[in-house]
Amino acid sequence: MGRPVLDNETWHFKLKSLREEISELSDRSEMKLRHAMVCSSNQNRSMEAHWLLKREGFDVASYGTGQHVKLPGPSLREPNVYDFGTPYKQMFDDLRRKDPELYRRNGILPMLKRNLSVKTAPQRWQENAADGTFDVVLTFEEKVFDMVLEDLHNRKHVLLKPVLVINLEVKDNHEEAAIGGRLALQLCQEIEAAGNWEECVDDLIMNFERQNHRKLVYSISYY
């Protein structure tokens, strides 16, 4: 139990201090909340929201919970599959080479172009421990919501820092993603404006539901 334990320990310590370092960064600007947008492939819905929130000056990141990044392919059974971490640029070039007409028409190329202006590559939620803690996680699909919660649950709860996980159901197409992005922005603005979301999340969510005729599901987890 000698060395490996020590190694493990140092690793844990390093990880923890890294996390703290990051959450400290967020403390810096008057306790600004950190947001994560999560969908399954980190391409359409989460990126639309990421893009919008980033533009509005939010502290935001985005992730996918799938095993791979899947994009529609030439037929139903031939999706384009990439690993998380493959740069958007690379996908863009790849698809443009394969069938520029098809992918422009179905909106994939424009989407990738947008994405590569936001960040380098799709990231996987389950591998984001090093990215620090988030205050608000927005998912766009119930399956993703469940996975995020399960993942958070399986992590070690060290910081006792609560994280609000909200699911906003958005269909995976361009139009709905645009609508969903705007809703996400509005929701995050409201949460941020509320200051301490713990105090008022029920009312906040209820109002949001009523205003937008959307059904939200939320939960809370801890880092």
Partner 1 sequence: MVAMAPAVSREKIAARINSIKYGAPADLSPKLDHLRRLREELMAADSLLVVELVSPLLDLLSDRLSPVRKFTTRMIGEIGLKHLQLLPEIIPALVNVLKDDTPAVARQAISCGFDIFRYSLVNVAIQGLYSSEFDDSLRSSWAWVSKFRDEICSMAFKEESEGRKLPALKFVESIVLLYTPDPNGSLEPPSDKNFQGNFEEFNVSWLRGGHPLLNVRDLSAEASQSLGLLLDQLRSPSLKSHSYLVIIVLIKSLSAVARKRPAFYGRILPVLLGLDPSSSVTSVSKGMHLAGVHHALKNAFESCLNCTHPGAAPSLWRDRLVNALKEIKVGKSVAQAANDMPENNGRTEWTRDSDISQILEDEKPSIKSLMEHGNTGRKRTGGLVTVDATEDDNSGKRARSTPGDLDGPGNERNQGQDRVPSSGTTPFSDVDSGPVQQLVAMFAALVAQGEKAAASLEILISSISADLLAEVVMANIWNFPPERLKSEGDEEPLTSAAAHTEMQNLEEEPPVTLAGGNVAHDDLSNTREHTAVPASESVCSGDISYPMETGYAVITSEVTDIEGRENEIPGLSSATEGDGLTENMDTIPKGSVHSDDANQEKSSNLGGISIETDRTPTELAQSLSTDRSEELSPKAATTDVSSLNSSTATSVGLASQLVLPKIGAPVIHLADEQKDQLQQLAFVRIVDAYKHVAVAGGSQVRLSVLAHTGLEFPSELDPWKSLQAHVLSDYVNHEGHELTSRVLYRLFGEAEEDRDFFISATAKSVYEAFLLQVAETLRDSFPASDKSLSRLLGEAPYLPKSVFEMLECLCSPSAGAISEKELPGGDRVTQGLSAIWSLILLRPPIRDACLQIALKSAVHQLEEVRMKAIRLVANKLYPLSTISGRIEDFAKDMLLSVVTDDGISTKEANELQKDENPSSENQPGSSATKEIPPDGHHMTASESSSSFTVVEVQRCMALYFALCTKKHSLFRQIFYAYKDTSKVAKQVVHQQIPLLVRTIGPSSDLLDILSDPPIGSEGLAIQVVNTLTDGTVPSPNLVSTIKRLYDTKLKDIDILVPVLPFLSKDEVSVLFPHLVNVPLDKFQVVLPRLLQGFNHSTPVLTPAEALIAIHKIDPEKDGITDACNACFEQRHTFSQQVLAKVLNQLVEQIPLPFLFMRTVLQAIGAFPSLIWKNPRQWVGFVKCAHVTMPDSFGVLLQLPAAQLENSLNRIPALKAPLVEHASQPNIRSTLPRSTLTVLGLEQELPTSTTQPNQSQTQTEEADNSEKTAATEKSKESM
Query: Which of positions 86-125 make contact with partner 1 (CB under 8 A)?
Result: 106-108
Beta strands in the chain (DSSP E): 34-39, 59-64, 69-71, 80-82, 136-139, 162-168, 216-222
Task: Name the phi and psi angles at 41, rounded to 5.
Answer: -115, 0
Of the candidate spans 48-56, 74-82, 89-97, 185-193, the one that interacts with partner 1 by CB under 8 A turns out to be 74-82
Nearest distance in Å: CB 162, partner 1: 5
DSSP state of 32: P
Q: Which of 7, 27, 56, 93 binds partner 1 (CB under 8 A)?
A: 27
Q: Which of 2, 4, 101, 130 binds partner 1 (CB under 8 A)?
A: 2
* Nearest in space to 71 (alpha carbons), one of 172, 176, 184: 172
Of the candidate spans 48-56, 92-100, 160-168, 185-193, the one that interacts with partner 1 by CB under 8 A turns out to be 160-168
Q: Which of 15, 22, 79, 99 binds partner 1 (CB under 8 A)?
A: 79
Torsion angle of C-alpha atoms 172, 140, 145, 86, degrees rounded to 10: 70
Nearest distance in Å: CB 38, partner 1: 12
Nearest distance in Å: CB 13, partner 1: 7
Under rule CB under 8 A, residue 151 binds partner 1: yes
Q: Which of 46, 62, 123, 221 binds partner 1 (CB under 8 A)?
A: 221
Amino acid 200 reads C
DSSP state of 104: H
Phi-psi region of 160 (alpha: psi -120 to 50; beta: other; left: phi over 0): left
* Cα 68 to Cα 48: distance, rounded to the nearest angstrom: 19
Q: Which of 57, 97, 160, 193 binds partner 1 (CB under 8 A)?
A: 160
